[in-house]
Structure 1
Amino acid sequence: MNDQKTLLQVDGVTKIFPGVRALDNVTFSVVEGEVHGLVGENGAGKSTLMAVASGALVPEQGRVVIDGTQTRGDTEQARRLGLAIVRQEPALMPDLTVAENLYLGVPAEQRPSLIEVAQWARGLLTQWSDDVAIDANERVGSLGPEQRFIVEIVKALAAKPKVLVLDEPTEHLLTEDVDRLFARIRKITASGCSVVYISHRIREVQRIAHRLTVLRDGQGQGTYEAAGLSEQEIVELIVGGALDRDFPAKGNNSGASVVLEVAKLRGAGFTDISVRIRKGEIVGLAGIDGNGQREFMRALAGQTRSRGSVTVAGVPAKLHNSRSAADSSIRYLPGDRHREGIFGELSVRENFSLRSLPFDSIKGWVSQRSEAKRARDAVTRFAVKTPSIDTPIRTLSGGNQQKLVLASVLASHPKVLLVDEPTQGVDIGARMEIYRVLREAAAAGAAVIVVSSDAHEVAGLCDRVLIFSRGHVVKELGENAVSENNITSAVLTATTEREKGASRTSGLWKWAAGDWAPLVMLAVAVCALGLYAAHVNPAYLSARNLSGMLALVATLAIVAYGQQMLMLVGGIDLSVGPLMGLIVVIQSFFLNDGASLAHQLSGWGIVLLVALAVGLVNWMLVGPFRLHPMVATLATYMALQAVSLLLRPVPGGLIADSIAESISAQVGVMPIIAIVAIVLAVVLEIALFKSRAGLTLRGVGSRVEAARMSGARPQLTSLAAYMGCSFLAGVAAVPMMAQVGTGDPSAGINYTLGSVAAVVIGGTSLFGGRGSFVGSLLGALLIIQVNVVTSFLDIGDSWQSYLLGGMILTSVALYSKSREMVVAK
Structure 2
Amino acid sequence: METKIALQVGHITKVFPGVKALDDVTFEVAAGEVHGLVGENGAGKSTLMAVASGALLPEEGRVVINGVETKGDTEKARTLGLAIVRQEPALMPDLTVAENLYLGVSEAQRPSLLRTTAWAQRLLEQWSDDVEIDASERVVSLNPEQRFIVEIVKALATNPKVLVLDEPTEHLLAEDVKRLFERIRKVTAGGCAVVYISHRIREVQQIADRLTVLRDGQGQGTYDASNLSEQQIVELIVGGALDREFPPKATGGRAEIVLDVVGLRGTGFSDVSLQVKRGEIVGLAGIDGNGQREFMRALAGLNKSRGGVTVNGKSASLTNSQAATRSDIRYLPGDRHREGIFGDLSVRENFSLRSLSFDTVRGLVRPKSEGRRAREAVSSFAVKTPTIETPIRSLSGGNQQKLVLSSVLASKPKVLLVDEPTQGVDIGARMEIYKVLRQAAAAGTAVIVVSSDALEVAGLCDRVHIFSRGHIVKELRDGGVSESNITSAVLTATTERERGSASISSFWKWAAGDWAPLVMLALVICILGVYATHVNETYLSTRNLSGMLALVATLAIVSYGQQALMLVGGIDLSVGPLMGLMVVIQSFFLNDGAPFGQQIEGWIIVFVVAACVGFVNWLLVDPFRLHPMVATLATYMALQAVSLLLRPIPGGLIADSIVDGIGTQLGFVPVIAILAGIVALALEFGLFRSRLGLAFRGVGSRAEAARMAGVRPHLTLLTAYMGCSLLAGVAAVPMMAQVGSGDPSAGGNYTLASVAAVVIGGASLFGGRGSFIGALLGALLITQVNVVTSFLDLGDSWQSYLLGGMILASVALYSKSREMAVAK
TM-score computed with the length of structure 2 as normaliser: 0.99
| 1:699 aligned partner | 698
- Report if the CA contact (8 A) 2:62-2:69 is conserved: yes
1:519/1:778 contact within 8 Å kept: yes
* 2:14 equivalent to 1:15: yes
Residues 377 and 187 (structure 1 numbering): CA distance in 2 closer, same or farther, change over 3 Å?
A: same
The answer on whether the counterparts of 1:263 and 1:308 sit within 8 Å (CA) in structure 2 is yes
Q: 2:236 maps to what in 1?
A: 237
Query: How big is each residue's C-alpha offset from its partner over 1:421-469, in whole Å with a ceiling of 9 and x where there is no partner?
Result: 0000000000000000000001111110000000000000000000001
Q: In 1, Cα distance between the equivalents of 2:297 and 2:71?
A: 46
Query: What is the deviation of 1:502?
Result: 12
The letter for the 2-side match of 1:420 is D
Is the Cα contact below 8 Å between 2:288 and 2:497 reproduced in 1?
no
- Structure 1 partner of 2:288: 289
Please list, as runs of the form range in 1=range in 2, the aligned pairs for 1:337-352 lying within 5 A after superposition.
Answer: 337-352=336-351
Q: Deviations along 1:410-430, whole A, 9 cap, x unmatched?
A: 111111110000000000000
Equivalent residue runs for 1:226-625 within 5 Å: 226-495=225-494, 504-625=503-624
Q: CA deviation at 1:43?
A: 0.2
Contact 1:584 1:742 in 2 (8 A): yes
State the match for 2:753 in structure 1: 754
Root mean square deviation, CA, Å? 1.2
Listed as ranges, the matches of 1:675-824 within 5 Å are 675-824=674-823
Partner amino acid, structure 2, of 1:727: L
Q: 1:470 to 1:75 in 2, by over 3 A?
A: same
Residue in structure 2 matched with residue 188 of structure 1 by the alignment? 187
Amino acid at match of 2:348: R
In 1, Cα distance between equivalents of 2:74 and 2:370: 40
- Correspondence for 1:26: 25
SS at match of 1:689: helix
Cα contact 1:579–1:611 (8 A) shared by 2 = yes
2: CA distance, partners of 1:369 / 1:161 = 51
Q: Which AA in structure 1 matches 2:606? A: V
Q: Following the alignment from structure 1 to structure 2, what is the Cα–Cα distance between the partners of residues 748 and 476?
A: 71
Partner secondary structure for residue 503 of structure 2: coil
Unaligned 5+ runs, structure 2: none
After superposition, give the CA deviation of every residue in 1:581-612 in whole Å (9 maximum; x if it has no partner).
Answer: 00000000111110110010000010110010
Letter in structure 2 aligned against 1:431: R
d(CA) in 1 for partners of 2:496, 2:687: 45
Q: Deviations over 1:95-130 (max 9, x none)?
A: 000000000000011000000000000010000000
- Alpha carbons 2:500, 2:823 under 8 Å: kept: no
| Cα offsets for 1:146-169 (capped at 9, x unmatched) | 000000000000011110000000
CA distance change for structure 1 residues 460 and 6 in 2, over 3 Å: closer, same or farther?
same
Size of the aligned set, in residue pairs, is 824
The separation in 2 between residues aligned to 1:342 and 1:163, in whole angstroms, is 32
Query: Is the contact made by 1:471 and 1:499 (CA closer than 8 Å) also made in structure 2?
Result: no
Q: Distance in 2 between matches of 1:787 and 1:436?
A: 66
Distance 2:200 2:77 in 1: 28
Task: Tell me, in whole angstroms, the C-alpha distance in 2 between the residues paired with 1:539 and 1:104.
Answer: 52
Q: Distance in 2 between matches of 1:553 and 1:262?
A: 59
- Secondary structure of 2:783's counterpart equals helix
Rounded Cα–Cα distance in structure 2 between residues aligned with 1:654 and 1:498: 73
Looking at structure 1, the residues matched to 601 and 393 of structure 2 have their Cα atoms a distance apart, in angstroms, of 53
Deviation of 1:251 (Å)? 1.3
Name the CA shift for 1:495/1:18 in 2 (closer, same or farther; >3 Å): closer
Name the SS of the counterpart of 1:653 in structure 2.
strand
Do structure 1's residue 97 and structure 2's residue 96 form an aligned pair?
A: yes
Q: Which residue of 2 aligns with 1:58?
A: 57
Do 1:664 and 1:672's aligned partners in 2 also have CA atoms closer than 8 Å?
yes
CA distance in 2 between partners of 1:37 and 1:219 (Å): 16
Q: Name the CA distance, whole Å, in 1 between partners of 2:390 and 2:721.
A: 33
Residue 782 of structure 2 aligns with an amino acid whose one-letter code is: I
Secondary structure of 1:263's match? Answer: strand
CA distance in 2, matches of 1:117, 1:398: 33
CA distance in structure 1 between the partners assigned to 2:806 and 2:228 by the alignment:
66
In 1, the alpha carbon distance for the partners of 2:199 and 2:480 equals: 28
What letter is aligned with 2:108? E
Q: CA deviation at 1:252?
A: 1.4
- SS state of the match for residue 136, structure 1? coil
Quote the offset at 1:503 in angstroms. 5.7
For 1:342 and 1:381, the matched residues in 2 are separated by 19
Please state how far the C-alpha of 1:506 moved relative to its aligned partner. Answer: 2.5
Instruction: Please name the residue that 1:116 is paired with.
Output: 115
Deviations, residues 382-420 of structure 1 (Å, cap 9, x unaligned)? 111111111111111111111111111111111111000
Cα pair 2:102 2:116 within 8 Å, conserved: yes
**Distance of 1:9 and 1:599 partners within structure 2:** 64
Q: Which amino acid aligns with 2:465?
A: L
Any idea what SS the aligned residue of 1:531 has?
A: helix
Determine helix, strand or coil for the equivalent of 1:232.
Answer: helix
For 2:306, what is the secondary structure of its paired residue? strand
| Whole-angstrom CA distance in 1 between matches of 2:220 and 2:501 | 54
CA distance in 1, matches of 2:13, 2:128: 41
Distance 2:810 2:132 in 1: 32
Specify the alignment match of 1:138 in structure 2. 137
Q: Is the 8 A contact 1:253 1:280 kept in 2?
A: no
Shift of the 501–566 alpha-carbon distance from structure 1 to 2, 3 Å rule, reads: closer
After the TM superposition, which of the residue ranges 380-389 and 470-479 deviates more from structure 2?
380-389
Range 293-302 or range 372-381, more displaced: 372-381
Instruction: Give the aligned partner of residue 197 of structure 2.
Output: 198
SS at match of 1:493: helix
Contact 1:561 1:776 in 2 (8 A): yes
Shift of 1:86: 0.5
Post-superposition Cα deviations, 1:276-328, rounded to whole Å, max 9, x if no partner, equal 11001100000000000000000000011001000000000000111111111
Q: Is the 8 A contact 1:575 1:637 kept in 2?
A: yes
* AA of the residue aligned to 1:206: Q
Structure 1 residue 561: Cα displacement: 0.2
Amino acid at match of 2:440: A
Letter in 1 for 2:663: S
1:271·1:499 contact (CA, 8 Å) conserved in 2?
Answer: no
- Map Cα deviations across residues 770-791 of structure 1 (whole Å, 9 max, x no partner): 0000000000000000000000
State the SS of the aligned residue for 2:493.
coil
Report how far residue 366 of structure 1 moved.
Answer: 1.1
Residues of 2 paired with 1:30 and 1:147: CA distance?
29
- Please give the alpha-carbon distance, in whole angstroms, between the structure 2 residues aligned to 1:658 and 1:554: 20
Q: Report the residue type matching 1:166 in the other structure.
A: L
In 1, are the aligned partners of 2:289 and 2:500 still within 8 Å (CA)? no
The alpha-carbon deviation at position 499 of structure 1 amounts to 11
Please state how far the C-alpha of 1:254 moved relative to its aligned partner: 3.3
Q: CA deviation at 1:745?
A: 0.4
Question: Shift of the alpha carbon at 1:4?
Answer: 1.5
Give ranges in structure 1 of 5+ residues lacking alignment: none
**Partner Cα separation in structure 1 for residue 3 and residue 121 of structure 2:** 36
**Within 2, Cα distance between the matches of 1:502 and 1:261?**
29
**How many angstroms apart in 2 are the aligned matches of 1:370 and 1:501?**
41
1:199-257 superposed Cα distances (whole Å, 9 cap, x missing partner)? 00000000000000000000000001111111111000000000000100111143100
Would you say the 8 A contact 1:258–1:278 is kept in 2? yes
